[in-house]
Amino acid sequence: MSTFCEDRVCIVTGAGRGIGKEYALMLAAHGAKVVVNDLGGARDGVGSDLGPADEVVQEIKAAGGEAVANGSDVSDFASAKQMIDQAIETYGQLDVLVNNAGILRDRMLVNMEESEWDAVIQVHLKGTFAPAHHAAAYWRNQSKAGTPIDARLINTTSVSGIYGNAGQTNYGAAKAGIAAFSVIASRELKRYGITVNCIAPGALTRLTEDLQPGEITDEMRERQSPRWIAPIVTWLASRESSDVTGRVFEASGGVLAIAEGWHRGPRVDPVEDPTTLGPIVRDMVKQARLNAGMNGEDQDGGLG
């Protein structure tokens, strides 16, 4: 077993399956003590089952690692605090929180139900805020008490949120919010010894397999395996990453990249008369860099 993350106490939410499971397994393989959180619901968030989290814990223990299961609903404020408290009570400290839990309820905007919007925003956005709030409060209090802090908050965005994907206004809005949340939190928490970064993962999991067009081959499964994402999360969780904060990383079997945020583009002096804006705006649009497609590259676009 590696000692890269030795004695680091890590919580990984949504770690019973898919990407989160790979995070938990790799962190444990590198010496971390892991709280494996998973509500155990279906892809749309319905139901609960501690079984998947327990199975990951048993796999970690069988390999010689240390882990405990947790079934908290990360979008419930009190339940999220219980998860943070469990890590501290079990292992005496908390060093890393990986907010990974999520659900999908895809629908075109005109067909989306209010409940589909609310559920996705609740799980992703509040499910990031609630654990992060309680973890950050713990680290701040420790810092104020004189304990040196070398903590990590690692959140999960998506290319759907940072680049935009049709059919996912709820999911994309939540994920864009998490990216902004991470940048802002990094500025607030740096003084306490806490870094905040964000991952935009790309992988075939139970959330995404049926969104893939055509037949899924063995080669595609390998190229889009969630195991390719775990290394950057493990590195960010380690002590080695203390100088990196406020970044959004794209990670998949095809790329490891930094997604660069909004920057001001073409500009003009303020205009009082709206009737004169047509040619001015069209000239700015012509000069501006196109919005990126889902692959992070420029795509064709217009005024819309």
Query: Do 253 and 287 share a structural domain?
Result: no
Beta bridge partners of 151: 194
Least confident of 163-177, 218-232, 242-256: 218-232
Q: What percent of the chain has pLDDT over 90?
A: 85
Query: Do 73 and 28 share a structural domain?
Result: yes
Query: Do 252 and 150 share a structural domain?
Result: yes
How large is the average pLDDT for residues 84-93? 98
Least confident of 128-142, 210-224, 273-287: 210-224
47-81 confidence digits (pLDDT tens): 567 899 999 999 999 999 999 999 999 999 999 99
How large is the average pLDDT for residues 22-43? 92
> Is residue 1, in this structure, part of any structural domain at all?
no
Query: Do 204 and 61 share a structural domain?
Result: yes
Residue 107: band (very low, low, confident or very high) from pLDDT cuts 50, 70, 90: very high
Mean residue pLDDT across the chain: 92
C-alpha pair distances (Å), 202 with each of 86, 216, 224, 227, 242: 30, 15, 7, 10, 25
Residue 31 has pLDDT above 60, yes or no: yes
Query: Do 223 and 143 share a structural domain?
Result: yes
Looking up tokens 């590259």, which residue turns up?
297
- pLDDT confidence of residue 179: 98
Query: Do 281 and 228 share a structural domain?
Result: no
Query: Do 304 and 212 share a structural domain?
Result: no
- pLDDT confidence of residue 217: 64
Burial (CB count <10 Å: 0-12, 13-18, 19+), residue 218:
exposed
- List, as one string, the DSSP characters of 163-183: II-TTBHHHHHHHHHHHHHHH
Q: Beta strands 194-202 and 66-70: pairing type?
A: unpaired
Instruction: State which residues form the domain around 158.
Output: 9-259
Residue 303 has pLDDT above 50, yes or no: no
Q: Could you tell me where the beta strands, DSSP code E, fall in the chain?
A: 9-12, 33-37, 66-70, 96-98, 151-156, 194-202, 248-252, 256-259
Whole-angstrom Cα distance, residue 223 to residue 213? 15
Query: Do 184 and 39 share a structural domain?
Result: yes
**Cβ atoms within 10 A of the Cβ of 99, count?**
30
257-267 confidence digits (pLDDT tens): 999 999 999 99
141-158 confidence digits (pLDDT tens): 999 999 999 999 999 999
Residue 205 has pLDDT above 70, yes or no: no
Residue 44: band (very low, low, confident or very high) from pLDDT cuts 50, 70, 90: low
> Is residue 4, in this structure, part of any structural domain at all?
no
C-alpha pair distances (Å), 7 with each of 46, 92, 94, 128: 35, 11, 10, 24
- pLDDT confidence of residue 19: 95
Residue 304: band (very low, low, confident or very high) from pLDDT cuts 50, 70, 90: very low
C-alpha pair distances (Å), 50 with each of 21, 30, 40, 91, 248: 14, 24, 6, 20, 31
Amino acid (one-letter) located at 152: R
Residue 178 has pLDDT above 50, yes or no: yes
Alpha-helical segments (H) within 145-273:
159, 169-189, 218-223, 230-237
Query: Do 15 and 140 share a structural domain?
Result: yes
Count of structural domains, the chain:
2
Query: Do 288 and 214 share a structural domain?
Result: no
In CATH, what number is assigned to the domain containing residue 183? 3.40.50.720
Burial (CB count <10 Å: 0-12, 13-18, 19+), residue 170:
buried
Query: Do 35 and 131 share a structural domain?
Result: yes
Could you give the 3-state DSSP secondary structure of residue 115?
helix
CA 134 from chain centre, in angstroms, equals 17
> Is residue 183, in this structure, part of any structural domain at all?
yes
Residue 302 has pLDDT above 50, yes or no: no
**Active-site residues: which are they?**
171
Whole-angstrom Cα distance, residue 197 to residue 190? 11
How large is the average pLDDT for residues 75-97? 98
Residue 219: band (very low, low, confident or very high) from pLDDT cuts 50, 70, 90: low
Could you tell me if 150 and 8 are in contact, meaning their C-beta atoms sit under 8 angstroms apart?
A: no
CA 8 from chain centre, in angstroms, equals 20
Q: In this predicted model, which residue has the larger pLDDT, 300 or 18?
A: 18
How large is the average pLDDT for residues 202-207? 68
- pLDDT confidence of residue 259: 97
